[in-house]
Amino acid sequence: MPTVSIIEDHPEVLQWIQSQFESKENWKVNGCFLSAESALTSIASLAMDLIVLDVGLPKMSGLDALPKLKVLKPKAKILIFTVFEDEETILKAITLGCHGYWIKDLTRGSKFVSECEQMMEGGASLTPKVARYLMEKISSESTLNASNVLLSKRESEVLNMVAVGFKISDIADELDISSHTVRHTLERIYQKLDVSSKQEAILKGNRLGIIQKPDGI
């Protein structure tokens, strides 16, 4: 049974997130915290697969807490759930290694947990506005020469889809290949780009000019 911890300073939002997971029999809420400090003092002794993390916390921010949480719980996925949608915050969170960045939307309802479960399966999970910003950033900052990084057409295609927020299952459906093939392709991309995560691959693909802004974005 997967476990989740929630770090959110607004009690009503924390309660809403908690209720979404508690409504599912296959999830266990294992810690709710109103500050990063309280979480960091307790989280090491708790089992968790997912951390839902706010950015605008009192005293220590979610961004300051993020690398500390990754050290304490290196195997846990970290989902940023915040009202902050400025470019600096988004880019910093992704650079620090969050696995998803969602703008707060309490209308998600029952979809919240299912979207978390899809994120747990792999792939960066981004709300459309965040994905659009990243693609614009990627397009405007393609300044390095990519001639020495030879990704195949399929590898470039997969990396571009990851960059705009497609999950592994979505990529498999879109390209009519298996999820296993998508994961294997991602492994080859990591090796060629000399990175170890999807977030790092997105950022390096950006700098190398591999990722292109799709039509309509």
List per-residue pLDDT tens for the chain, 217 residues long: 899 999 999 999 999 999 999 998 889 999 999 999 999 999 888 989 999 999 999 999 999 999 999 999 999 999 999 999 887 888 888 888 888 888 888 777 778 888 888 888 775 577 666 766 665 665 454 444 444 457 888 888 899 888 888 888 888 888 889 999 999 999 999 988 888 888 888 888 887 778 765 443 3
Tracing tokens 């590898």 back to the chain, one arrives at 155
- Chain centroid to CA 131: how far? 11
Contact between residue 182 and residue 194 where contact means Cβ atoms under 8 Å apart? no
Burial 149-164 (b: 16+ CB within 10 A, else e): bebeeebbebbbbbbb
CA angle 124, 129, 131 (to 5 degrees): 35
**pTM exceeding 0.85:** no
**Number of Cβ within a 10 Å radius of residue 128:** 11
pLDDT at 205: 83
